[in-house]
Structure 1
Amino acid sequence: MQGYDAVVVGSGHNALITAAYLARAGWGVLVLEGNDRPGGLVRTDELTLPGFRHDNFSAAHPLFVAGPAYADLRAELDLEYLNTRYPTGVSLPGGRSSVVSTDLDENIVEFNRLSPGDGDSLAELFQEFGPAIETVFALCSADLTAPSSAVAIQSLMHTSDGGFSDFAHMFTLSARALLQQRFRSPELHAMLAPWATHLGRAVDDANSGTWTVLVLAAITMAGMPIPRGGSEELVKALVKLIERHGGRVQCGQWVKQVLVKDGHAVGVRTADDEVVPVRRAVVASVNPDQLYLKLLDHGHGVTPPALRKQAKDYRYGLGAFQVHLALSGPARFHDERLMHAGQPHLTGGLNAISRATNEALRGLLPVEPTISWDTPSTLDPSRCPPGRAVARLQMLEVPTAVSGDAADRIPVGSDGWTEDVKNAFADRVIDEAAKHVPGLHDIILDRYLISPRELAAFNPNCGPGDPFGGSHDLAQSYLFSPLPGQPSHRTVVPNLYMVGAATWPGHGISGGSGYIVAQELMD
C-alpha cells in the first residue's frame, strides 16, 4: 500500500477530528477502522422497528459543541444540532421532580423553589468558581504536560501566598460531599449526582464533585445538543470533511501492529499483513493495554518493562446497560417539563444512586438502577415514524461481569450476561421507569437491549464492557492517564500518539484529545 503522512488507527470521533485537522492542513491521511462503519461508539441504527432510528451508544454532544474543535470545523461540517431549554432533570418517587435550564437565573429560581437558599447557593458557587471553571475547560483542550498547563494548574490549586485554593479543596470532594455542603434539597442531590457517573466516577469517589460542577456549568451554557438524524451524523460529517481534503477512511481493516524502526513509528501492519508506511505520525485511538501489550512489542522489546507492567495493570470500570424502545406515542411524565428535558434521570435519590453503584461494584444487578432517560424524537421527529417516539433507558451502574442479583430474583449463572439475564433485568428497568412514566408499558412496541457483553464484542476499547474505555478514578486520571509513565498523548515511541477515552480529557463526545494531538502535530 502507498505511504501516508499520517495513519490513524481506529475511527472514534477523536480519531476523526485529528484526521480532519491534518487533512485540512494538507497531510496525506489514512484512517483504518476494523468495524464495518467508522465512528466507534457514535452510531445510529434501526435497532427495533423499521423507521425507528436509535443512537446505539452515545447520544448528546454538549462538550463537543462547547469545545474548540467544533468552533474550528463547524463551517465545513454538514451537520445541524438541535437543542433544548432543559438539558437535564430528575423524577423521584411520589411525583417529586425538577429540571435544569440553560438560563442561570431560571435555575436560581427553581433551586430556591426546591429549598429556600439553594438557588442563592448556586449563584454563589458559579461566582466563586467561575474563573476556575473557565480555566479547567481550557485545560480540557490542552496537553497537561505542557509548561502553560503547569502554570494554569498552579493558579488553580494555589493562592498567591502559596496556600491551597478553595478550588483545590473542591477538587478533592466527592459529589455527595459537595452537593450536601452546597444544597439542602434532596431533589437537587438526586438531579446532579448521576452526572458524576456519566463521567466514569462514582458519587462517593474523591474528585467526583468537581466534575458534577463542571457538567452543571457545561450544560447550563451548551444545553444537551443532538445532531438532527442521529448521533452518527457527526461521524458522517467528519468523514466527508476528511475525504473532501484528500484523506481516506477505510473500514474492515484491523491493525495488528505498529511498525517501529530505529526507535520511531514508521508504519502499521493490518490483520491481512498489508504494510502501510508512514512518513510523519501514527495516531492510535486505542487504550494503553492494547497499544503496549498488543500493537507495539511483538517480541521486539519496544515497551520499557515498567510501562509494560502499567499497561497490564490498566483498569476498567463499570459497564453500561441500555434499553432502546420503540414507542407508539410520546411518553408522559407527571412533570411536563421532563418531556422536553434532554437527559433526565429517574431515581430513588442520592442514596439509591450510591447503593446501585455499590451493588454493581460487587458484581450484582442493582435492585433500583438509576435510569438515564432520553427521547430524541421529541426534538428530532426524523428519528421515528409520525406520531411515534424512540426512547433510550441507560444504566451506568452495572457490572461488566455479573455474578448475581442484589434483589435475589434474577437467576445468574457462570455465563453472566445471557439473553435470559438481559431480558429479566430489562423488565426490572422498565418496571422502575413506569413508576415515573405512567402508562409506559402500554406504549412499548418493541425493545432492543445492549449489555456489557455486546459492548465488549463491538469495540476493543470497551475492554470487558466499559463504555468509558477504562476507570476514571483519581489513580487513572489527569497526569496519571493514560498511564503514570506516559502522562500525555505522546507515547514512548517518537511519531506515535494516542487519542481516545483513555487519554486526557477522557471519554465522552468532546473531541478534546483529537484536538490536542492535531494541534501538536501541526505545530
Structure 2
Amino acid sequence: MSIVVVGSGINGLVAAAELARAGRTVTLLERAPRLGGFIASQERTLPGFVHDVYSSWHPLFVSGGAYALLGADLEARGARYRNTDGALTASTADVGGERRTVVGYRDPGRTAAGFSRARDRETYLAMLDAFGARAGTVFGALGGELGSGRTLGALGWRALRALGRRGVASLARDAMSSGRAFLRREFDGWEADALWAPWLLHAGLGPQHATGGVMVPVFAATLHQFGLPVVDGGAGRFVAAFESLLRDAGVDIRTGVEAEGIELRHGRACAVRTSAGVVDAGTVIASVSPQALYGTLLAESGAVARQRADAARHRPGRGAAQIHLALDRPVPWEDPALREVPLIHLSDGSGSTGVAVAQADAGLLPQVPTIVVGQQTLLDPQRAPEGKATLWLQLQEVPFAPVGDAAGLIDTRGGWAEATLRDRFLDRVLDRLEAFAPGVRATVLAADLITPADLHAANPNAVGGDPYGGDAELDQNLLWRPFPGAARHRTVVPGVWHIGAATHPGAGLAGGSGHLVAQQLLGRRSR
C-alpha cells in the first residue's frame, strides 16, 4: 500500500523524499497551491526585490540528518547556499543611556575576544568545549523518539558512559534552567546574554523558559560550526529543488487538495478522504496541528477520544509577524560593525526580550519589541537591484488577538483587520530601527507587513499565528510534545503518524520529525 504525506512543510518534504528515494510509493497532499509551507520567496514589495517570505536561515537543515541524505541531490537541482565566514549575528540596545553592541563571528575565539571580562572570554570557550562532550547526548535526544522507553534507556546509558554521573547531573540542571538563569549563572558581563538570549525566540522559547540552558549552547555551537546559510536566489529555489527531487523519485504531488479525513478499516488507516476524492493509503504521515489531526482527520475514530480532548487544550505559542522592506540603499547603521552582520537582534538580551515576551503573553503589543533584522543581501546581493537592499524583519512577541498596547498608544480594537493597527505597529517597528540606523526610514521604497492573523490564514498549522507549532514550555516539550499520550510520532491509530513543528523535536527548519519517521518506517531507526 502507498504512503500518503499530508502537508508539504519541511517535515513533509523530507519524509516524502526519503521514503520515495528508498522505493516507497508516496503521494504528497498540499492544500495550498504551492509546496513549502513556511518556505517561500517572492517579490512582495517591488519588482527585483526578492524576499524570503517566512523562514530564511538554514543552519539547522545543513547540520541535520535529512541534509546528509538529501543535500547533494538538492544542490544538483539548484538549492545552493550563500554563507558567511566572518560576522554571524549581533545584538544592539540602549541600556542606561549607553549603546551596547556585541557581535558573534564564525570563529568562537574572535567572538569571545569581544567580551569585556577575561573570565567571560574563558567561560565562553569552555561552554563550547563542554557542549562538544555533550553533543552526542543532546542531539541524540533532539533526534530520537523520546516517547519510546527503549530510546530513553539507550540515551541514558550512553550519557552516563560519555559524561559520568556528575556530567549527567550538570546537563540535567542546565536542561531545567532557563536561558536567562544559565547565562547569568555562567557569565559576569552582559555580552553573552545579549548575544544569545534573543536566539531562544527562534525555538519558540523565551529567556525565562526551561530548556534554555541547553538551547543556548546548541544555538551557539551550531552557528559557529555551520554559519547562517541562505539559499542562493531565495528560499523558493529550495522548494523548487525539493519538488524536482520528489518528481524524479516518482512522488505523486497534488497541490490545491485538502485532506478532510483519514478513513479506517478495522481500526487501521486505509485511505485519505480529500477535497478531490479518496486516496488509498496503508500509511498516513500527517504534518498538521494536533487540533487538525485529532479533531478533523481522525474525527470519526473512537480510539483517540482522550487525544482529541488533549488536542483541544493544546496551547499555541506567541504569534509572530514579518515585515519586508525594499531599501534604496543598505541600512545606514550608526555602529559600523553592524553593516557586515547577516542577522541582528535589537535587544539587550534576557532583560528587554523577557519583558516583551511577558507583554505579548498578556495579550499586549510590546512597548519595545525584539526585532530580528535579516540582511540577506549581504550574503546574496542578487536579491535586490544593484546598490539597493532587502530587509527581513521578524517579530516573535506579537499577540494573535491583542487586547491592548503596553505603551498605551495604539488602539487595538478591531484587531489586525484594522489598517490603523497595522500602520501604527509598522511605525513602531520602523521607529525602533531608526534609533539604531538614523535615516533608514528615508530609504524605504516599499514595505509589506505579515501579521499573526496573516500567518494563520496562510498556513492553518500556525494556530493562533504561532509558526512554531505550539507553546514550547516544558509541559509541551520533549517527552510531552505535543502532550502526554501523543509524544510518539506513531499514533495509537495503526498506520497514522504525526510529524511537524508540533511534534518532537519541535520547530526549526531541520526536518527533524520528517526524517525520524521516514527512517523508522524504513526500519533504520527504532520505533
TM-score (norm 1): 0.95
Q: How does 1:145-164 map to 2 (within 5 A)?
A: 145-146=147-148, 147-153=150-156, 155-156=158-159, 160=164
Structure 1 position 461 matched with structure 2 position 461: yes
Correspondence for 2:410: 410
Residue 297 of structure 1, CA deviation: 2.1
Correspondence for 1:26: 23
Correspondence for 1:270: 274
Q: How does 1:18-417 map to 2 (within 5 A)?
A: 18-77=15-74, 78=77, 79-84=79-84, 85-93=86-94, 94-111=98-115, 114-146=116-148, 147-153=150-156, 155-156=158-159, 160=164, 165-272=169-276, 274-279=277-282, 281-298=283-300, 300-303=301-304, 305-417=305-417
Partners of 1:45 and 1:252 in 2: CA distance: 19
Gap change, CA 1:209 and 1:422, over 3 Å in 2: farther
Q: Deviations over 1:166-209 (max 9, x none)?
A: 11111111111111111122233122111111111111112222
Q: Deviations over 1:347-399 (max 9, x none)?
A: 24432111111111111111111110001111112211111100011111111
Query: Structure 2: where are the runs of 5+ without partners?
Result: none
Partners of 1:137 and 1:204 in 2: CA distance: 22
Correspondence for 2:481: 481
Residue 248 of structure 1, CA deviation: 2.1
Quick one: which amino acid aligns to residue 411 of structure 2? P
Gap change, CA 1:163 and 1:51, over 3 Å in 2: closer
Partners of 1:46 and 1:184 in 2: CA distance: 45
Q: Secondary structure at 1:142's aligned position in 2?
A: coil
Partners of 1:150 and 1:222 in 2: CA distance: 30
Partners of 1:355 and 1:155 in 2: CA distance: 39
8 Å CA contact 2:197–2:349 kept in 1: the answer is no
Partners of 1:189 and 1:202 in 2: CA distance: 13
Q: Secondary structure at 1:508's aligned position in 2?
A: coil
Correspondence for 1:14: 11
Gap change, CA 1:400 and 1:415, over 3 Å in 2: closer
CA RMSD of aligned residues (A): 1.8
Quick one: which amino acid aligns to residue 89 of structure 1? A
Show structure 1 runs of 4+ deviating over 6 A: none
Q: Secondary structure at 1:96's aligned position in 2?
A: strand
Residue 433 of structure 1, CA deviation: 0.8
Which stretch of structure 1 is more off in the superposition, 32-41 or 121-130? 121-130
Q: Secondary structure at 1:131's aligned position in 2?
A: helix
Residue 164 of structure 1, CA deviation: 5.6
Residue 64 of structure 1, CA deviation: 0.5
Partners of 1:82 and 1:139 in 2: CA distance: 30
Partners of 1:385 and 1:302 in 2: CA distance: 57
Partners of 1:157 and 1:370 in 2: CA distance: 39
Q: Deviations over 1:21-45 (max 9, x none)?
A: 1111111211110011100011111
8 Å CA contact 1:196–1:209 kept in 2: the answer is no
Partners of 2:434 and 2:416 in 1: CA distance: 26
Quick one: which amino acid aligns to residue 380 of structure 1? D
8 Å CA contact 1:176–1:204 kept in 2: the answer is yes
Q: Secondary structure at 1:122's aligned position in 2?
A: helix
Quick one: which amino acid aligns to residue 286 of structure 1? V
Partners of 1:420 and 1:153 in 2: CA distance: 54
Residue 19 of structure 1, CA deviation: 0.5
Q: Secondary structure at 2:494's aligned position in 1?
A: coil
8 Å CA contact 1:296–1:302 kept in 2: the answer is no
Q: Deviations over 1:196-226 (max 9, x none)?
A: 1111111111222221221111111111111
Residue 127 of structure 1, CA deviation: 2.5
Q: Secondary structure at 1:87's aligned position in 2?
A: strand
Residue 74 of structure 1, CA deviation: 1.4
8 Å CA contact 2:140–2:155 kept in 1: the answer is no
Gap change, CA 1:410 and 1:154, over 3 Å in 2: farther
Gap change, CA 1:427 and 1:350, over 3 Å in 2: same
8 Å CA contact 1:87–1:343 kept in 2: the answer is yes
Quick one: which amino acid aligns to residue 474 of structure 1? L
Quick one: which amino acid aligns to residue 88 of structure 1? T
TM-score (norm 2): 0.94
8 Å CA contact 1:101–1:107 kept in 2: the answer is yes
Gap change, CA 1:138 and 1:206, over 3 Å in 2: closer
Q: Secondary structure at 2:464's aligned position in 1?
A: coil
Which stretch of structure 1 is more off in the superposition, 511-520 or 129-138? 129-138
Quick one: which amino acid aligns to residue 108 of structure 2? L
Q: Secondary structure at 2:461's aligned position in 1?
A: helix
Which stretch of structure 1 is more off in the superposition, 149-158 or 70-79? 149-158
Gap change, CA 1:63 and 1:161, over 3 Å in 2: closer
Quick one: which amino acid aligns to residue 240 of structure 1? S
Residue 121 of structure 1, CA deviation: 0.6
Partners of 2:328 and 2:55 in 1: CA distance: 23
Partners of 1:232 and 1:485 in 2: CA distance: 36
Residue 156 of structure 1, CA deviation: 4.0
Q: Deviations over 1:232-257 (max 9, x none)?
A: 22211111111011112211001100
Q: Deviations over 1:286-341 (max 9, x none)?
A: 0111100111123x4241x3222211111101011221100001113233332222
Partners of 1:231 and 1:150 in 2: CA distance: 39
